[in-house]
């Protein structure tokens, strides 16, 4: 009996430790001008942070101490301290920032300025725009390669991926992809660039060095019309084995085998799923569902949706902190 009690007590300690170490999810609510803070242990909103008007893209600083928030109607990036959950300052961003990427060195942001057809380079310490690169019409998706050498930007109206040299800010290449590209990400090894295309409902995979198309993924859902399958948000597993794509009005997340580019399964989530993000251990996926104003949490080991969490109006982006 004593052994059984000790075993049960040890199990409770382990479970308690896992709850304490659970991640925190941050979700931008575009119509409420707020960030919802979700506790990964309880899967409930534990706090709401007021930010500037029309928050969309979210990214963590390189050291994980700050959450950067693109507030489109204020033409700036708000900086939220993750200990106090207070805005500690802001950065200039250029006109109408939407998505942006943090360079691995932690010193710069690369921001898509949708109205000006520019990528702005923001020096975080100086709080100043220190460079600009002209790109296609309506830039949105932004990503920096793991080695920090390259930046890519998607332009929605031009339907292109623009490849930029970080050191020189030279535009190296313009690659035509499917209609209305949204998100872009480098694979964990940096060898591929993944791009979602909203209106075509596809994912294009580019070889990073040659910029040639290495593959393409299409989606089909029984009972869902082709027009509703819109590939928007994107997340790649840290082990490089799986990719996850938000399919917008189809209310689904697609799970893709990165090696074969085959769709393995679909998850039914909230309405008009947009931004998505993986927990640091790659075991959970959080989805921002814009029309149902909630967040779906998917357990990727159990392959099921754990919970739907109400947040603010029109959730758009998601970022996860350990």
Q: Are 319 and 26 in contact (CB under 8 A)?
A: yes
202 part of a folded domain = no
Instruction: Quote the pTM value.
Output: 0.93
Per residue in 132-155, is it b (16+ CB within 10 Å) or e — as a string?
ebebbebbbbbbbbeeeebbbbbb
Domain that holds residue 89: 58-176
CB 56 within 8 A of CB 316: yes
Q: Are 205 and 211 a contacting pair, CB within 8 Å? A: no
> Exposed/middle/buried for 39, CB within 10 Å: 0-12, 13-18, 19+?
middle
Return the bridge partners of 244, or none.
Answer: 235, 255
Give the C-alpha separation, 68 to 46, whole Å.
Answer: 19
302: in domain: no
Q: Which stretches within 236-317 are classed as H helix?
A: none
Strand partners, 257: 242, 262
Closest CA to 274 of 205, 196, 194: 196
pLDDT of res. 150: 98
Each residue of 6-26: pLDDT tens digit? 444 444 433 443 444 489 999
pLDDT of amino acid 293: 98
pLDDT score recorded for residue 132: 97
| HSE-CB of 88 using CA atoms within 13 angstroms | 13
The β-bridge relationship of strands 242-246 and 86-92 is unpaired
pLDDT value of position 5: 42
Average pLDDT score, the chain: 94
Count of domains for the chain? 1
Is the residue at 69 inside a domain? yes
HSE-up of residue 148 (Cα within 13 Å, Cβ side): 10
The answer to whether residue 145 sits within a structural domain is: yes
Assess if residue 103 is contained within a domain. yes
Asked whether the beta carbons of 309 and 44 are under 8 A apart, the reply is yes
Helix, strand, coil abundance in the chain, percent, nearest 5: 10, 55, 40
CB 51 within 8 A of CB 312: no
Residue 189: count of CB within 10 angstroms of its CB: 10
- Spatial separation of the C-alpha atoms in residues 240 and 258, rounded to whole Å: 7
pLDDT at 4: 44
Could you tell me if residue 192 is inside a domain? Answer: no
Q: Considering the domain boundaries, does residue 256 fall inside one?
A: no
Within 8 A by CB and 6+ apart from 37, the residues are: 24, 25, 26, 45, 46, 47, 48, 49, 85
Cα 190 from Cα 206, distance rounded (Å): 11
The CATH number assigned to the domain holding 127 equals 2.130.10.10
Q: Has residue 137 been placed in a domain? A: yes
Residues 277 and 57: their CA atoms lie apart, in Å, by 12
Per-residue pLDDT of the chain (322 residues; tens, 9 = 90+): 444 444 444 444 334 434 444 899 999 999 999 999 999 999 999 999 999 999 999 999 999 999 999 999 999 999 999 999 999 999 999 889 999 999 999 999 999 999 999 999 999 999 999 999 999 999 999 999 999 999 999 999 999 999 999 999 999 999 999 999 999 999 999 999 999 999 999 999 999 999 999 999 999 999 999 999 999 999 999 999 999 999 999 999 999 999 999 999 999 999 999 999 999 999 999 999 999 999 999 999 999 999 999 999 999 999 999 9
pLDDT cut 90: percent of the chain above it:
92
Cα dihedral 48, 52, 53, 55 in deg (nearest 10): -60
Strand partners, 91: 77
Cα separation values, 166 from 110, 121, 152, 159, Å: 10, 10, 10, 22
Q: Which is it for strands 24-29 and 234-236: parallel, antiparallel or unpaired?
A: unpaired
- CA angle in degrees (0–180, nearest 5) for 38-43-44: 60
> Whole-angstrom distance between the N-terminal and C-terminal Cα of the chain?
37
């Amino acid at each position: 009996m004593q052994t059984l009690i000790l075993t049960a007590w040890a199990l409770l300690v382990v479970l308690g430790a896992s709850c304490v170490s659970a991640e925190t999810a941050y979700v931008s609510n575009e119509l409420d001008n707020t960030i919802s803070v979700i506790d990964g242990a309880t899967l409930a909103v534990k706090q709401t942070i007021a930010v500037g008007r029309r928050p969309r893209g979210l990214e963590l600083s390189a050291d994980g101490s700050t959450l950067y928030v693109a507030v489109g109607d204020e033409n700036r990036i708000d900086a939220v301290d993750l200990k106090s959950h207070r805005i500690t300052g802001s950065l200039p961003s250029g006109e109408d920032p939407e998505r942006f990427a943090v360079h691995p060195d932690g010193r710069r942001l690369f921001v898509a300025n949708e109205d000006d057809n520019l990528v702005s380079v923001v020096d975080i310490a100086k709080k100043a725009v220190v460079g600009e690169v002209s790109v296609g019409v309506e830039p949105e998706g932004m990503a920096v390669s793991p080695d920090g050498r390259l930046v890519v930007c998607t332009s929605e109206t031009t339907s292109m991926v623009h490849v930029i040299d970080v050191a020189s800010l030279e535009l190296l290449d313009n690659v035509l992809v499917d209609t209305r590209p949204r998100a872009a990400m480098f694979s964990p090894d940096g060898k591929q660039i993944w791009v979602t295309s909203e209106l075509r409902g596809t994912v294009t995979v580019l070889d990073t060095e040659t910029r040639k198309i290495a593959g393409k993924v299409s989606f089909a859902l029984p009972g869902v019309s082709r027009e509703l399958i819109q590939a928007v948000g994107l997340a790649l597993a840290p082990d490089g084995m799986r990719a996850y794509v938000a399919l917008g009005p189809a209310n689904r997340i697609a799970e893709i085998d990165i090696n074969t580019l085959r769709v393995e399964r679909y998850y039914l989530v909230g309405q008009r799923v947009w931004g998505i993000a993986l927990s640091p251990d790659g075991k959970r996926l959080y989805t921002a569902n814009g029309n149902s104003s909630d967040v779906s949490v998917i357990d990727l080991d159990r392959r099921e949706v754990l919970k739907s969490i109400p947040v603010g109006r029109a959730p758009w982006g998601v970022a996860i902190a350990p």
